[in-house]
């Protein structure tokens, strides 16, 4: 009994000691002084350099005064714990504190080999005299570290990062996370990027690097990217690499400038060498990359990608890409793209590339399925293609082709609505076991695959002419009560499933065709 009491006292003492050791540090570039203790607003530090030489402890807080500005790099040290993460935030009323890297380093904020950190409410820029390859606003790096836990970026504004526009040279981006290591296998566990505004960053928004060879596979887990706004970013929007179970949701990418060269390929939101990625409730519009340029993509060496409940519109390259390179398929580098699910998405006016590219003329099908991708299921989507402005515009809805190896295999299209205002076509050549079932085709089409249960009647949307940003517009693509598509779909339900509006899709009844279920 005495031993138990001593143990309890020791635990309580240790807990109280830990709380007592937590410190709050204040930084004020206007009124602070690095000779101060930093422990009150009246005794604030003045500079990033003072922060960078300090080893912070679990539960510490580093607070920058609202409305202040700093020149240089923020490179904090130390790690928190699950119970007491370290926090960077602001204090006082006013604009978020701003840190301007001025291109003097490849990052403005660097979190390297630290864990249990939360960084909130900062403004970050990194503009150099000229564009530079691999320039970022924020770099999160773990190398030979093991599991790197709980890194949170929340409420940051990252803008005017002039990285290279050339992907093969390393590009540039607002945020990069990277895990690597030859001595110690390293990954992120619980990495969250949320509520950030990323704009005027080149080349990309949020990208990543990790273990991608299947012989050396060590994916990051618990990765969540949500509620971010990306604007004026010409390249790739959000690209998880070397992850398992990443969730990319409620993000908006829009208004992409048309400044990439004809040699550059880019798209909105897509995984690469990542498994079981869920991409949902995102809106991508106005992507203008001269090659690809789709809103969404399930790419190279990916297994079990789910792209659901998204809104894609006015993208030059189309709504969707599903692809895999044939040359390396079946190797440790690339076990293939398998079991992608595309469901309950709305695409309006995608595939509007207004000029020729150096690769394939005016190529811009609404959906491009390329190379040895297997077991792709595309169901209960709505594709609306208005009349296109130029006679040269690509009017292909689905194009399947061969990317250096076998053709797409076992692709299913079911319960989709294809609504076109002028003649559109499908292109299939060497595809294998493509199946169409219970789709609605309204308009004039060429080269349709056999679909014995197809319907060719007007789906009777509430308002097919509706055009706007935001998910509210999608209510116009619900079916009227009088729609002939009610109950005419084929059941695709394996587990609990909902439509894009949150209505349940029941196993025991035939679903409606399209994105809306009664």
Note the pLDDT tens digit of each residue in 94-106: 999 999 999 999 9
Helices H / strands E in the chain, number of each: 2, 44
Task: Give the β-pairing of 412-414 and 373-374.
Answer: unpaired
Spatial separation of the C-alpha atoms in residues 416 and 512, rounded to whole Å: 10
Give yes or no for a contact between 441 and 423, defined as CB atoms under 8 angstroms apart: no
Spatial separation of the C-alpha atoms in residues 321 and 297, rounded to whole Å: 4
Two tokens at 335? 């076990």
Q: What is the pLDDT of residues 229-274, one digit of tens each?
A: 999 999 999 999 999 999 999 999 999 999 999 999 999 999 999 9
Two tokens at 484? 């002939």
The average confidence (pLDDT) of the chain is 94
Spatial separation of the C-alpha atoms in residues 297 and 271, rounded to whole Å: 7
Contacts of 482 (CB under 8 A, 6+ apart): 460
Two tokens at 241? 């690499």
Q: What is the mean pLDDT of residues 63-87?
A: 98
Q: Is the pLDDT of residue 19 over 50?
A: no
Residue 368 forms beta bridges with which residues?
Answer: 321, 399
Radius of gyration of the chain (CA): 25
Closest listed residue to residue 108, CA positions, set 174, 27, 192, 63 = 174
Two tokens at 438? 């219970």
Residue 8 phi, psi (nearest 5): -65, -45
- Predicted local distance difference test score (pLDDT) of residue 233: 98
Q: What is the mean pLDDT of residues 81-91?
A: 98
Q: Is the pLDDT of residue 15 over 70?
A: no
Q: What is the mean pLDDT of residues 349-361?
A: 94
Q: What is the pLDDT of residues 320-332, one digit of tens each?
A: 999 999 878 778 8
- Predicted local distance difference test score (pLDDT) of residue 328: 80
Looking at the chain, the whole-number percentage of residues with pLDDT higher than 90 is 91
Spatial separation of the C-alpha atoms in residues 363 and 399, rounded to whole Å: 10
- Burial call 153-182: b when 16+ CB within 10 Å, e when fewer: bbbbbbbbbbbbbbbeebbbbbbbbbbbbe
Q: Is the pLDDT of residue 286 over 50?
A: yes
Q: Is the pLDDT of residue 75 over 90?
A: yes
Task: Please name the residue that has the structure tokens 């025991």.
Answer: 508
Burial of residue 60, with CB atoms counted within 10 A of its CB: 0-12 exposed, 13-18 middle, 19 or more buried: buried
Two tokens at 478? 């619900």
- Predicted local distance difference test score (pLDDT) of residue 494: 77
Q: What is the pLDDT of residues 330-339, one digit of tens each?
A: 788 899 999 9
Q: What is the mean pLDDT of residues 403-419?
A: 94
Q: What is the pLDDT of residues 456-480, one digit of tens each?
A: 999 999 999 999 999 999 999 999 9
Q: What is the mean pLDDT of residues 127-137?
A: 98
- Predicted local distance difference test score (pLDDT) of residue 349: 98
- Predicted local distance difference test score (pLDDT) of residue 95: 98
Q: What is the mean pLDDT of residues 68-84?
A: 98
Q: Is the pLDDT of residue 158 over 80?
A: yes
Two tokens at 397? 């809805």
Q: What is the mean pLDDT of residues 292-319?
A: 98
- Predicted local distance difference test score (pLDDT) of residue 21: 73
- Predicted local distance difference test score (pLDDT) of residue 12: 41
Q: Is the pLDDT of residue 3 over 50?
A: no
Closest listed residue to residue 64, CA positions, set 109, 105, 32 = 32
Parts of the chain belonging to CATH 3.30.1910: 21-98
Q: What is the mean pLDDT of residues 203-223?
A: 97
- Predicted local distance difference test score (pLDDT) of residue 429: 86
Say yes or no: domain 21-98 is CATH 3.30.1380. Answer: no
- Predicted local distance difference test score (pLDDT) of residue 496: 82
Higher pLDDT, 107 or 359: 107
Give yes or no for a contact between 501 and 518, defined as CB atoms under 8 angstroms apart: no
Q: How confident is the model at residue 7 (pLDDT cuts 50, 70, 90)?
A: very low
Q: What is the mean pLDDT of residues 46-60?
A: 98
For 52, which DSSP code? H
Cis status of the peptide bond prior to 25, with omega within 30 of 0: no
Task: Please name the residue that has the structure tokens 């945020």.
Answer: 175
């Amino acid at each position: 009994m005495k031993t138990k009491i001593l143990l309890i006292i020791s635990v309580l003492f240790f807990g109280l000691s830990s709380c007592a050791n937590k410190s709050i540090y204040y930084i004020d570039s206007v009124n602070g002084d690095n000779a101060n203790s930093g422990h009150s607003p009246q005794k604030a530090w003045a500079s990033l350099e003072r922060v960078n030489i300090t080893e912070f402890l679990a539960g510490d807080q580093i607070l920058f005064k609202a409305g202040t500005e700093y020149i240089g790099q923020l490179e904090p040290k130390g790690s928190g714990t699950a119970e007491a993460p370290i926090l960077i935030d602001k204090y006082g009323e006013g604009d978020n504190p701003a840190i301007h890297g001025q291109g003097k380093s490849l990052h403005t904020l660097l979190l390297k080999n630290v864990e249990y950190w939360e960084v909130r409410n900062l403004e970050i820029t990194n503009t150099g005299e000229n564009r530079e390859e691999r320039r970022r606003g924020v770099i999160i790096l773990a190398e030979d570290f093991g599991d790197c836990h709980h890194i949170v970026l929340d409420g940051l504004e990252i803008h005017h990062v002039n990285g290279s526009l050339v992907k093969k040279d390393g590009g540039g981006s607002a945020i990069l996370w990277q895990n690597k290591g030859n001595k110690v296998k390293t990954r992120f566990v619980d990495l969250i990027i949320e509520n950030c505004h990323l704009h005027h960053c080149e080349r990309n928004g949020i990208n990543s690097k990790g273990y991608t060879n299947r012989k050396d596979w060590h994916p990051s887990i618990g990765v969540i990217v949500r509620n971010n706004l990306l604007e004026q970013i010409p390249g790739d929007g959000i690209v998880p690499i070397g992850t398992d179970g990443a969730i990319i949701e409620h993000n908006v990418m829009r208004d992409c400038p048309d400044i990439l060269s004809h040699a550059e390929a880019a798209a909105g939101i897509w995984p690469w060498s990542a498994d079981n990625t869920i991409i949902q409730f995102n809106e991508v519009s106005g992507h203008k990359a001269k090659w690809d340029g789709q809103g969404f993509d399930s790419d190279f060496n990916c297994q079990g990608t789910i792209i659901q409940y998204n809104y894609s519109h006015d993208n030059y390259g189309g709504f969707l890409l599903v692809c895999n390179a044939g040359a390396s398929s079946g190797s440790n580098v690339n076990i293939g793209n398998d079991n992608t699910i595309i469901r309950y998405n709305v695409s309006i006016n995608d595939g509007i590339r207004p000029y020729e590219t150096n690769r394939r003329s005016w190529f811009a099908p609404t959906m491009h399925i390329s190379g040895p991708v297997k077991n792709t299921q595309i169901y209960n989507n709505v594709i609306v293609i208005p009349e296109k402005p130029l006679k040269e515009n690509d009017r292909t809805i689905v194009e399947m082709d061969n990317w250096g190896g076998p053709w797409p295999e076992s692709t299913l299209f079911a319960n989709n609505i294809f609504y076109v205002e002028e003649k559109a076509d499908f292109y299939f050549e060497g595809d294998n076991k493509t199946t169409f079932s219970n789709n609605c085709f309204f308009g004039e089409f060429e080269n349709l695959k056999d679909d014995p249960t197809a319907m060719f009647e007007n789906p009777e949307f509430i308002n097919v002419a509706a055009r706007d940003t935001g998910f509210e517009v999608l209510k116009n693509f619900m079916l009227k009560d009088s729609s002939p598509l009610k109950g005419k779909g084929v059941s695709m339900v394996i587990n609990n499933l909902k439509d894009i509006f949150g209505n349940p899709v029941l196993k025991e009844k035939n679903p409606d065709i399209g994105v809306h279920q009664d």
